[in-house]
Amino acid sequence: MLDRELKKGSAELLILSLVEDQPRHGYDIGTLIEKRSGGTLRFNVASLYPLLYRLEKRGWIQGRWVEKAGQRRRRYYRLTAAGKKVLAAQRNSWREFVEAIRRITGIEPA
Amino acid sequence: MPDWKQEITARLASLRLQPAHEAEIVEELAQHLDDVYERSLASGASDAESRRVALRELADANLLPNELKRVHKPFHERPVPGGPGRSNLLTDFFQDLRYAFRMQLKNPAFTIVAVIALALGIGANTAIFSVVNSVLLRPLPYKDPERLVMVWEDASKFGYPRDTPAAANYVDWRNQNTVFEGMAAIADESFNLTGTGDPERLEGRLVSANLFPLLGVDPQLGRTFTATEDQPGSNHVVLLSHALWQRRFGGDNSIVGKPINLNGETYTVIGVMPARFEFPSIDDQVWAPIAFTAEDSANRNRHYLQVLARLKPGTTLEQAQTEMRTIGARLQQQYPDSNTDLGVAVTSLHEHLVGDIKPALLILLGAVGLVLLIACANVANLLLARAAVRQKEIAVRVALGARRQRLIRQFLTESILLSTVGGVVGLAVAFGGLMLLRTFIPENISQAGQISIDLKVLGFTFLVSVVTGLIFGLAPALQAARFNQTETLKEGGRDSATGSSGKRIRGLLVMSEVAVSLVLLIGAGLLINSFLRLRSVDPGFRADNLLTMKIVLPQPKYEEFERRSAFYTELVQRVQSLAGVKSAAVTTNLPLYRQGNSIGVSIEGQPPPPPGLENIVVTRIISPGYFETMSIPLLSGRQFTDQDVRTGQRVVVISDGMARRYWPGEDPVGKRIGTGRIRRPEDWFQVIGVVKDVRQVELTADPRPQMYLTYRQAGFFPAEDLVVKTEVDPATLAATVRQTVWEIDKDQPVSNIRTMEEILLQSIARQRFSMLLLAIFAGVALILAAVGIYGVMSYSVAQRTHEIGIRMALGAQTGTVLKLAVGYGLKLVVAGVVIGLIAAFALTRVMSTLLFGVTATDPATFTLISLLLIAVATIASYIPARRATKVNPIIALRYE
C-alpha cells in the first residue's frame, strides 16, 4: 500500500486529470483510479467524496446532477477553467518532482 | 438492494448539515455503494459478502465526518510551496499577505504592542514631515517662486549682513541692474482704521505698484495698483487682506471703489487679496502704494526698505549676486559719505522666509527618524522572540523544501503588513499631533497656517512604513532563514533563538536602542539646558504684572508735538489713577519686540566717527515713569521728572553698556551728547542718569548701547506702546485701560493688548518649539528603549529559569544570581552608552546654532544624561532579574 501522505498529495492531480476530457461521476472516478493504477491506488467512499467536494469548493471542478433516459440521476463532475490552470501547474510540478526523484534515486519510469 | 442511507446518515449526523445538502450527499454516496455492491455480486460474491465489501467503503465511523469537516472549514491555505517549482511573485505575495493577516490576528497582544510602537514612530515622523513639507518643501504660492529673491544692503562691517536698504540705493539698483525682470520696494506701515466700528490699528505695507505682478498674484476682487497710483498725491488707494475684508467689511463684494478712513485720511479700496496671500508676513492686512517723493528717492541714510526682485529666466542667483556687488561697489565710490563699506547681498525669497527655522526643523526631522529607529528595534525584538516560537513552523517548511529566499520574503511580508497597519494608525497619531503642534508652533513661521497632511505627506508615510517594515523585519527574517534543522533537533526542541546567534542579535538591538536614545536624550538635554539658560537671562526689566498695548497716534491729527505730549500726559495720568494700577508709562518700543529706532550720536569732547561708523545708539522715547514701571534699576544719577520739559535743559538717561562704551572708567553723569548738528549749547543732551542694560531685541543678543529721552523734550519719533504695572492680574485690566484711552479720544485704536510675560514667551517661541518637541521625542525614545531592554531581559531570564533554578538549588545567593542577570543587561547598556556618546559627540554639533549658553558637547549634559539612561536601563533589567530569583528551584527544575 502506498504511503498515505503521498496518496493524499497526489489525489487532487489524479481527480483533475480524470475529469479533464469528460465529466465523470464519483463511482466512475474511483473505479478509474483503481483500474488505471493497477490496484496500487484506491480511494474509499469516505475519502473520495470529501475530496471531490473540496475541489468543488475551490472552484476547480463543478458537480451537476444529470438525468439520463432510463437511469437514476447521477452527479457528474467537470473541470472548470480555474481547474484547468491548476491541473497544468500541478502536472508541471509533478513532472519536475518525478524527474528530480528519478535523478536522485535512479528509479526509471515504467 | 440494501439501504445504505441509514448508515451514511448516521455518520453525517455530527456535522449538522442543511437537510437538503445532506440528502444530496447521502444520495450520491448511496449510489456509489450500490455500484460497489452490484459489482461484487456480479463477481460471484454472496449477498452478505457484497454487503460487507460495500460498507468497507465507508471505513471507520469517523473518517467520513472528519474528511467532510475539512471541506466545510474555511478555505484551507496551501502550504508555502516547497520544491523549486514555478513561483509567481504576485500570487506568492497575496498568499503571504493572507497568511500574515492570520498570524497577526492569532496574536492580538503582540500585534497591538508592535502597532502602538510603530504608530508612535511613524505618526511623529508624519507630523514633523508635514511641517517640513509645508514650510520648507512646498513651493511658495507665487508664480515661478524659485526666481524670486530679496536684495539687501550688506553692512557686514556693522554686523548687519542683510540690512534693509535706503530708497536711493534701491532706485539705483533698480535702474542699473540687467539681471532682474523687476524690482519692488516694501516698507512697514501701520494704519489706524476709523469711521466704522471700533477704531483699529492695522499692520500693513507700502509697496511699489509692480509688487503684485512681480509675485504673480492676482487680487480676488478688484485690481492692484497702477504706476500712476505709485506717485505722491495719487496714492490714496488700498488693497485689503482677505481676513480684514471678512472681519471688518463682512466680505461685502461692493467694497471695491468705496472709501475708508485710514490714519485720518480717505483711501479708496481698489481690491481684496486672496485668502492665502500673506506677503511679506501673515500680519499684513493693508497694502498701499509706496509713492516715493523726490526727497525719498535721494535719501541714502534711512535704511528701511525690503526689496523683492525677480530673476530673469535663465539667470542664476550667483550671476545676480555678482552684478549687484559690482553695482554696490560703484555706489560706494560715488557716495562715500553714505555708502562706505556698504555691499549688496542677494538671497532667495524662500531662504529669507524659512532660513531661520530650517535648521531646527531638519534636526527635528532627524530626531523623529531616530525615534522610529528605536521603535523598529523594539518590534524587531518582538519578532525575533516570536520567530523563536515559530521554529516548528519553519522546520516544516524547510523540510518541505522551502527555499531561504521564499522564507525571507514571507517574513518580510509579515513585517511590512505590521508596519503598514502601524502607518495607518500613525496617520491618526499624526493628525492628533498636528492639532497639538499648531497650538505652539511659532505663528510667524512662513506658511505655518498651511500645514496639513497632503498627498506628498501620505506618500512619505507610506514609504516610511514600508521601509520601516523592511528594517525591523530583516533581522528576524534572516534569523529564520539561517535556521538549521540539526541544531533545532540538538537543542531538544527548544528554540534556537536562545542560541548564540539569536542572543547576539538581541544584544545588538538593545545596544543600538540605548545608543540612539542617548543621542536623542543628549540633544533634548542640550536644548532644555539652553532654554533654561534663556529663561534665566536677565532681560534687564521685570516682566511680571505688566500689561502692554499699542497706541499709535495717527499722523495728521497728532502731527503737532504739543498735541501728542498732551495726549501722553493725560493718558499716563488717567491710567495711573485706575484701581489696581501701580504705575504707567509710554515708550516708543517695548523691549524684546523689535529693534526699534536707533540714531547716530556725537559725544562731546570726542572726535566724530568716520562715515559709516557712527555711534549708533538704540533710542527709546519714554515718559518719566517708565523705569519704575518696568522695574529697570537706576545705577547712578537720576531719572526723568515732569520738570524735564522742552524749554529746560535737554537731558538723557543712558544704559550701563553705553556708559562703559563711551566713557570707560568715568562717571558719565553730567557729560553731553548730540543727536545732530550742534549749533547752540542748548542742542546738547546732558546725561542725568545711568540705568541697567535692557535686552531690546532678543534674549539671546547682547544689549547694544541704549539711551532714553523723555517725550516732553524729544519728538523724533512718537511713542507707540503703553505699559502698565498692575497690582492685580494684568489681563483683567485690559478692557478698563482701553476704555480709558477711548475716553480721551474715541477714534484712537488700541491694539496688541498683551502682558509682558506673553511678549517674553513670544520672543523665545521658536526655541520653546524645538525644545518641547525634541524633549517629547527623547521621552518617547527613553520609554521605548526601557520597554525594549525590559523585554529582552525578561526573555533572556525566562530562558535561563532552568539554569537559575539549578544555581539556586545548589545554594547560590539571591544577590549572586541577581548580579549575574543584571550584569548581562548592564553590559549591553554600557556598551550602548559608549557608542551613543561617540555618536552624540559627532552629531550634536549640527545643533550648535540652536543652543544658547551651552556648547554642543556640554560635559555636564553628556554626563547627566548618560547616568539617567543607565539608571533607567538598570531598573528595566533589574525587575525581570528579580522575578527570576523568586522562582522556586523545584518548579524551575521541573520546567524542562
Q: What residue of B is the nearest CA neighbor of A74?
A: B28
Residues 13-72 of A with CB under 8 A from B: 25-27, 30, 44-47, 49-51, 53-54, 57-58, 72
Question: Total domain count for chain A?
Answer: 1
For residue B581, what is its C-alpha cell?
A: 494700577
CA A18 to chain B, closest CA, distance in angstroms equals 17
Q: Is the pLDDT confidence value at B152 over 80?
A: yes
Q: Do B68 and A53 touch (CB under 8 A)?
A: yes
- pLDDT attached to residue A7: 66
Q: Is the pLDDT confidence value at B759 over 70?
A: yes
- The set of residues, in sequence order, having a beta carbon less than 8 Å from that of B864 and lying 6+ positions away, is B525
* B465 neighbors B415 (Cβ within 8 angstroms): no
Secondary structure, 3-state, B472-502: HHHHHHHHHHCCCHHHHHHCCCCCHHHCHHH
User: Nearest CB to B58: which of A46, A89, A92?
Assistant: A46
Q: Is the pLDDT confidence value at B72 over 70?
A: no
Question: How far is B614 from B837, CA to CA, in rounded Å?
Answer: 48
Name the pairing type of β-strands B237-240 and B615-622: unpaired
| DSSP secondary structure of B203-239 | EEEEE-TTHHHHHT---SEE----TGGGSTTS--EEE
For residue B110, what is its C-alpha cell?
A: 503582540
| Strand, coil or helix: B341 | coil
For cell 440521476, name the residue: A73
Name the pairing type of β-strands B615-622 and B706-710: parallel
| Optimal mutation site among B18, B32, B34, B39, interface A, most CBs of chain A within 10 A | B32
| Optimal mutation site among B8, B27, B57, interface A, most CBs of chain A within 10 A | B57
Q: Do A92 and B86 touch (CB under 8 A)?
A: yes
What are the pLDDT digits (tens) for A42-71? Answer: 888 888 898 899 889 888 999 998 887 777
Q: Is the pLDDT confidence value at B135 over 80?
A: yes
Question: How far is B315 from A32, CA to CA, in rounded Å?
Answer: 85
For residue B321, what is its C-alpha cell?
A: 549676486
Mean pLDDT computed over B858-875: 90
- pLDDT attached to residue B346: 94
Closest by alpha carbon to B828, among B873, B768, B858, B797?
A: B873
Question: How far is B211 from A53, CA to CA, in rounded Å?
Answer: 79
Q: How far apart, in Å, are the Cα atoms of B501 and each of B171, B189, B482?
A: 74, 70, 10
10 Å CB burial of residue B647 (0-12, 13-18, 19+) is: exposed
Residue A27: its chain B contacts at CB < 8 A? Answer: 31-32, 35-36
Residue A50: its chain B contacts at CB < 8 A? Answer: 64, 67-68, 70-71
Q: What residue of A is the nearest CA neighbor of B63?
A: A46
Query: In terms of pLDDT, which residue wins out, B870 or B559?
Result: B870
Quote the mean pLDDT of chain A.
Answer: 83
The per-residue b/e assignment along B835-848, b for 16 or more CB within 10 angstroms, e otherwise, is bbbebbeebbeebe
CA A37 to chain B, closest CA, distance in angstroms equals 18
Q: What residue of B is the nearest CA neighbor of A101?
A: B83
Count of A–B CB contacts within 8 Å? 68
The percentage of residues in chain B with a pLDDT greater than 90, rounded to a whole number, is: 32
Question: How far is B888 from B794, CA to CA, in rounded Å?
Answer: 17
Query: Does residue A110 lie within any of the structural domains?
Result: no
The type of residue at B272 is: V
Mean pLDDT computed over B506-516: 87
Helix or strand holding residue B366 (H, E): helix B358-389
What are the pLDDT digits (tens) for B596-633? Answer: 677 778 888 888 776 656 777 888 999 999 999 999 99
CA A95 to chain B, closest CA, distance in angstroms equals 10
* B511 neighbors B825 (Cβ within 8 angstroms): no
Q: How far apart, in Å, are the Cα atoms of B160 and each of B165, B343, B344, B855?
A: 11, 11, 11, 25
By mean pLDDT, which of A35-39, B79-83, B119-123, B603-607 is the weakest? B79-83
Mean pLDDT computed over A29-53: 87
| Optimal mutation site among B25, B28, B400, interface A, most CBs of chain A within 10 A | B28
Query: Does residue A41 lie within any of the structural domains?
Result: yes
- pLDDT attached to residue A8: 65
By mean pLDDT, which of B173-177, B325-329, B655-659, B822-826 is the weakest? B822-826
- The set of residues, in sequence order, having a beta carbon less than 8 Å from that of A13 and lying 6+ positions away, is A87, A90, A91, A94
CATH at A48: 1.10.10.10
Q: Is B67 near chain A, with CB under 8 Å?
A: yes
Q: What residue of B is the nearest CA neighbor of A42?
A: B57
- pLDDT attached to residue B319: 94
Would you say how long chain B is, in residues?
Answer: 896
User: pLDDT-derived band of residue B322, with 50, 70 and 90 as boundaries?
Assistant: very high
Q: What residue of A is the nearest CA neighbor of B75?
A: A58
Q: Name the DSSP letter for residue B603.
A: E
> What count of Cα atoms within 13 Å lies in the side-chain half-sphere of residue B326?
9
Q: Is the pLDDT confidence value at B422 over 70?
A: yes
Q: Do A75 and B28 touch (CB under 8 A)?
A: yes
Query: Does residue A59 lie within any of the structural domains?
Result: yes
What are the pLDDT digits (tens) for B272-306? Answer: 999 888 888 888 899 999 999 998 888 888 888 99
User: Nearest CB to A49: which of B28, B75, B84?
Assistant: B28
Question: How far is B2 from B77, CA to CA, in rounded Å?
Answer: 40
The type of residue at B445 is: I
Q: Do A89 and B29 touch (CB under 8 A)?
A: no
Query: Does residue A109 lie within any of the structural domains?
Result: no
Closest by alpha carbon to B654, among B666, B641, B629, B636?
A: B636
Query: Does residue A32 lie within any of the structural domains?
Result: yes
| ipTM of this complex prediction, to 2 decimal places | 0.87
CA A56 to chain B, closest CA, distance in angstroms equals 9
- pLDDT attached to residue B613: 63
Closest by alpha carbon to B264, among B15, B621, B694, B554?
A: B554
Q: What residue of B is the nearest CA neighbor of A30?
A: B32
Q: Which residues pair with B598 in a beta bridge?
A: B618
Query: In terms of pLDDT, which residue wins out, B894 or B90?
Result: B90
Residue A53 belongs to domain spanning = 4-104
Q: Which residues pair with B586 in a beta bridge?
A: B722
User: pLDDT-derived band of residue A108, with 50, 70 and 90 as boundaries?
Assistant: low
Q: Do B71 and A72 touch (CB under 8 A)?
A: no
Residue B36: its chain A contacts at CB < 8 A? Answer: 27
Residue B25: its chain A contacts at CB < 8 A? Answer: 49
Residues 64-103 of A with CB under 8 A from B: 72, 74-75, 89, 92-93, 96-97, 100
- pLDDT attached to residue B85: 45
Q: Do B86 and A93 touch (CB under 8 A)?
A: yes
Q: Do B29 and A49 touch (CB under 8 A)?
A: yes
Q: Is B74 near chain A, with CB under 8 Å?
A: no
Q: Do B31 and A57 touch (CB under 8 A)?
A: no
- pLDDT attached to residue B495: 45
Residues 9-28 of B with CB under 8 A from A: 24-25, 28
Residues 32-61 of B with CB under 8 A from A: 32-33, 35-36, 56-59
- pLDDT attached to residue B589: 86
C-alpha distance across the termini of chain A, in Å:
18
- On whether the pTM is more than 0.95, the answer is no
SS3 content of chain B, % helix, strand, coil (to 5): 55, 15, 30
Q: Do B25 and A51 touch (CB under 8 A)?
A: no
- pLDDT attached to residue B492: 45
User: Nearest CB to A50: which of B32, B57, B70?
Assistant: B70
Q: Is B719 near chain A, with CB under 8 Å?
A: no
Quote the mean pLDDT of chain B.
Answer: 85
| DSSP secondary structure of B644-704 | --TTS--EEEEEHHHHHHHSTTS--TT-EEESS---SGGGSEEEEEEE-----S-TTSPPP
Query: In terms of pLDDT, which residue wins out, B881 or B216?
Result: B216
Q: Do A97 and B83 touch (CB under 8 A)?
A: yes
CA B790 to chain A, closest CA, distance in angstroms equals 45
Query: Does residue A24 lie within any of the structural domains?
Result: yes
Q: Is the pLDDT confidence value at B822 over 90?
A: no
What's phi and psi for B2, nearest 5 deg?
A: -65, 155
Query: In terms of pLDDT, which residue wins out, B717 or B250?
Result: B250
User: pLDDT-derived band of residue B595, with 50, 70 and 90 as boundaries?
Assistant: low
Query: In terms of pLDDT, which residue wins out, B14 or B572?
Result: B572
- pLDDT attached to residue B321: 94
| Optimal mutation site among A12, A33, A45, interface B, most CBs of chain B within 10 A | A45
Closest by alpha carbon to B177, among B167, B169, B185, B187?
A: B169
User: Nearest CB to B71: which of A26, A45, A57?
Assistant: A57
Q: Is the pLDDT confidence value at B400 over 80?
A: no
Query: In terms of pLDDT, which residue wins out, B109 or B222?
Result: B222
- pLDDT attached to residue B411: 83
Q: What residue of A is the nearest CA neighbor of B81?
A: A93
Q: Is the pLDDT confidence value at B500 over 50?
A: yes
What are the pLDDT digits (tens) for B360-389? Answer: 888 889 899 988 888 888 888 888 877 776
